[in-house]
Structure 1
Amino acid sequence: MKMLKSILMMLVSISLLSSLNAQNAEKTLMTVGDESTSVEEFWNIYKKNNTEKSIDKKSIEEYLDLYVNFRLKVNEAKALKRDTSPAFLKELNGYREQLAKPYLVDEEINEQLQQEAYSRMQKDVRVSHILLFLDEDALPKDTAKVYAKMMEIREEIESGKITFAQAAVKYSKDRSARDMPAEGRRPPRAGNKGDLGYFTVFDMVYPFEVAAYNAPINEMTMPTRTRFGYHLILKTDEIPAIGKAQVAHIFIKALEGDTAARPEEAQKKIEEIYAKIQNGEHFEDLVKAMSDDKGSAAKGGELPWFGANRMVPVFIKQVSEFDSIGQVSAPIRTSFGWHIVKFLGQKPIGSFKSVQPEIKDHLKKDVRSEKGRQSKIAQVKKEENYSENPKALSHLIKELDSTILVHEFDDTKAQSFTKVLFTIGDEEFNQYDLLVYIQAKKAKAETKDVAVYVYKNFRKYSDDRVIDYEDRHLEQKYKEFELLMNEYRDGILLFDLMDEVVWSKAVKDTAGYQAYYNAHSAKYKWGKRVDAAIFTLSNSEVYDTLAALIQNHKTDEEILDAIHNDSTRAVKYDHRKFSKGENKEIDATKWKAGISEVYFNEAEKPLYVVRIHKKIKPAIKELEECRGMVISDYQTQLEEEWIEELKLKYPVVIDKEVLSDLKKNGMTK
Structure 2
Amino acid sequence: MNIIKFASVLLVSLAFHTAYGQSADPVLMRINGEQVTLSDFQYAYNKTGNSNSTKDQTVDQFLESFINFKLKIEEAKYLQLNQEASFKEEYSRYLDQTEKLYTTDTVSDHIIARKIYDRLGENIQISQLFIAFPKGDILPKDTLEAYNKIVSIRESTANGGSNKFEDLVLEFSNDSVSRNSSIPGYLGWKTALMLRKDIEEAMYATAINSISQPIRTNEGYYLIKVFNKRKDPGQINLAHIFLPYPYADSDINQKDSVRSLAQEIYTKLTMGASFAQAVSIYSADEQTSPRGGVLGWFGVGNPLPTVFESTLYSLNIGEVSPPMEMDYGFHIFKILDKVYQLPWEDMKGEILKAITQSDRNELIKNLQRERLSQNYPYTLNSLVYNQLESIANTYHVTDSVYFEKVAYLDNQVLLSIEKQNYKVLDFIDFLVENPQTNFNLSTDILSHKVNDFILEKQQEVQKLTLAEKHPEFRHLIQEYYEGILLFNVMNQQVWEKAQNDTQMLQQLFDKDPLKYKWESPKYKGYVIHAKDKTTIIKAKELIKEYGNSPDLAQILSKNLNTNTAPSVHIEKGLWGKGENGFIDRSVFKTKNDREIIGYPEFIIEGKLISAPETLDDARGQVIADYQSIIETEWIKNLRNKYKVEINRDVLQSMVNQ
| TM-score normalised per structure 2 | 0.60
Q: Give the share of equivalent positions with the same residue, in percent.
A: 18
Give runs of aligned pairs for residues 307-322 of structure 1, distance below 5 A. Answer: 309-310=301-302, 312=304
Residue of structure 1 in register with 2:240 after alignment: 250
Structure 1: 5+ residue runs without aligned partners? Answer: 1-21, 181-189, 528-576, 587-591, 597-616
Residue 231 of structure 2, aligned match among 238, 241, 254: 238
Instruction: Flag the 1:211–1:519 CA change in 2: closer, same or farther, 3 A.
Output: farther
Paired with 2:265 and 2:488, the residues of 1 have a C-alpha distance of: 75
Residue of structure 2 in register with 1:155 after alignment: 159
Residue of structure 1 in register with 2:556 after alignment: none
Paired with 2:426 and 2:332, the residues of 1 have a C-alpha distance of: 64
Paired with 1:169 and 1:361, the residues of 2 have a C-alpha distance of: 37
Paired with 2:216 and 2:232, the residues of 1 have a C-alpha distance of: 25
Residue of structure 1 in register with 2:82 after alignment: 83
Q: CA deviation at 1:84?
A: 1.6
Residue of structure 2 in register with 1:544 after alignment: none
Paired with 2:374 and 2:171, the residues of 1 have a C-alpha distance of: 46
Q: Which secondary structure does the structure 1 equivalent of 2:39 belong to? A: helix
Q: Which secondary structure does the structure 1 equivalent of 2:301 belong to? A: helix
Residue of structure 2 in register with 1:127 after alignment: 125
Q: CA deviation at 1:489?
A: 3.0
Number of residue pairs aligned between Structure 1 and Structure 2: 543
Question: C-alpha deviations, 1:437-488, integer Å up to 9, x for none?
Answer: 6567667996576x67666655655665555555555555655554444344
Question: C-alpha deviations, 1:316-353, integer Å up to 9, x for none?
Answer: 988976755x565556689998462442586973563x
The RMSD of aligned alpha carbons is 5.9
Contact 1:250 1:301 in 2 (8 A): yes
Q: Which secondary structure does the structure 1 equivalent of 2:82 belong to? A: helix
Paired with 1:379 and 1:459, the residues of 2 have a C-alpha distance of: 16
Q: Which secondary structure does the structure 2 equivalent of 1:349 belong to? A: coil
Contact 1:418 1:431 in 2 (8 A): yes
Amino acid at match of 1:85: E
Instruction: Flag the 1:287–1:232 CA change in 2: closer, same or farther, 3 A.
Output: same
Q: CA deviation at 1:249?
A: 1.8
Q: Is 1:35 aligned with 2:37? A: no
Residue of structure 2 in register with 1:390 after alignment: 383
Q: Is 1:278 aligned with 2:270? A: yes
Q: Is 1:225 aligned with 2:215? A: yes
Paired with 1:499 and 1:418, the residues of 2 have a C-alpha distance of: 49
Contact 2:124 2:226 in 1 (8 A): no
Amino acid at match of 2:126: S
Structure 2: 5+ residue runs without aligned partners? Answer: 1-20, 523-574, 592-607
Residue 342 of structure 2, aligned match among 339, 349, 353: 349
Question: C-alpha deviations, 1:55-78, integer Å up to 9, x for none?
Answer: x99697787677555544433332
Paired with 1:166 and 1:311, the residues of 2 have a C-alpha distance of: 25
Residue of structure 1 in register with 2:559 after alignment: none
Paired with 1:388 and 1:232, the residues of 2 have a C-alpha distance of: 39
Instruction: Flag the 1:124–1:627 CA change in 2: closer, same or farther, 3 A.
Output: farther
Residue of structure 2 in register with 1:177 after alignment: 178
Residue of structure 1 in register with 2:399 after alignment: 406
Paired with 1:58 and 1:361, the residues of 2 have a C-alpha distance of: 52
Paired with 1:624 and 1:291, the residues of 2 have a C-alpha distance of: 86
Paired with 2:426 and 2:613, the residues of 1 have a C-alpha distance of: 72
Paired with 1:416 and 1:44, the residues of 2 have a C-alpha distance of: 52
| TM-score normalised per structure 1 | 0.59
Residue of structure 2 in register with 1:568 after alignment: none
Residue 486 of structure 1, aligned match among 478, 483, 486: 478
Q: CA deviation at 1:284?
A: 3.1
Question: C-alpha deviations, 1:533-555, integer Å up to 9, x for none?
Answer: xxxxxxxxxxxxxxxxxxxxxxx
Amino acid at match of 1:88: F
Q: CA deviation at 1:26?
A: 2.0
Q: CA deviation at 1:304?
A: 6.4
Question: C-alpha deviations, 1:206-259, integer Å up to 9, x for none?
Answer: 44445556778x5657437363544344453213766xx7x352353889xx98
Residue of structure 1 in register with 2:363 after alignment: 368
Paired with 1:506 and 1:318, the residues of 2 have a C-alpha distance of: 85
Q: CA deviation at 1:375?
A: 1.0
Q: CA deviation at 1:374?
A: 2.6
Contact 2:190 2:300 in 1 (8 A): yes
Give runs of aligned pairs for residues 202-217 of structure 1, distance below 5 A. Answer: 202-210=193-201
Residue of structure 1 in register with 2:567 after alignment: none
Paired with 2:649 and 2:516, the residues of 1 have a C-alpha distance of: 44
Contact 2:169 2:184 in 1 (8 A): no
Q: CA deviation at 1:82?
A: 2.1
Question: C-alpha deviations, 1:267-289, integer Å up to 9, x for none?
Answer: 77665554443343333334444
Contact 2:110 2:352 in 1 (8 A): no
Residue of structure 2 in register with 1:564 after alignment: none
Give runs of aligned pairs for residues 54-133 of structure 1, distance below 5 A. Answer: 68=67, 70-97=69-96, 99-100=98-99, 109-120=108-119, 123=121, 125-133=123-131
Q: Which secondary structure does the structure 2 equivalent of 1:74 belong to? A: helix
Q: Which secondary structure does the structure 2 equivalent of 1:29 belong to? A: strand
Instruction: Flag the 1:72–1:578 CA change in 2: closer, same or farther, 3 A.
Output: closer
Contact 1:105 1:375 in 2 (8 A): no
Residue of structure 1 in register with 2:6 after alignment: none
Contact 1:327 1:342 in 2 (8 A): yes
Question: C-alpha deviations, 1:171-229, integer Å up to 9, x for none?
Answer: 7655443546xxxxxxxxx56963443545x444444445556778x565743736354
Contact 2:128 2:187 in 1 (8 A): no
Amino acid at match of 1:250: H
Instruction: Flag the 1:283–1:391 CA change in 2: closer, same or farther, 3 A.
Output: same
